[in-house]
């Protein structure tokens, strides 16, 4: 069963949200990070969405 979680280690830069999304969709974490920055800068995606995701999505270590 596939689950979304925040990553730890080299895939986690701030809170691991983008790394976790990248693992869930099986893409490079850099692509997700660039897309997130572009969405925040140009599309009006709020940083609050990232903060809420960091609080809601469990850490990788809590999933085991």
Distance in angstroms (rounded) separating the CA atoms of residues 22 and 6: 10
The band of 31, judged by pLDDT with boundaries at 50, 70 and 90, is very high
In this prediction the pTM is: 0.81
Q: Where are the domains of the chain?
A: 9-59
Distance in angstroms (rounded) separating the CA atoms of residues 54 and 42: 21
Contact indicator for 6, 17 with CB cutoff of 8 Å: yes
| Other beta carbons within 10 Å of 53 | 16
Instruction: For residue 54, count CB atoms less than 10 angstroms from its CB and return exposed for 0-12, middle for 13-18, buried for 19 or more.
Output: middle
Q: What is the pLDDT of residue 27?
A: 95
Q: What is the pLDDT of residue 62?
A: 65
């Amino acid at each position: 069963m596939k689950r979304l979680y925040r990553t730890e280690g080299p895939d986690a830069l701030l809170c691991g949200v983008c790394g976790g999304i990248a693992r869930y969709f099986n893409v490079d974490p850099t692509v997700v990070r660039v897309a997130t920055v572009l969405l925040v800068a140009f599309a009006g995606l709020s940083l609050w969405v990232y903060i809420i995701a960091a609080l809601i999505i469990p850490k990788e270590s809590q999933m085991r």
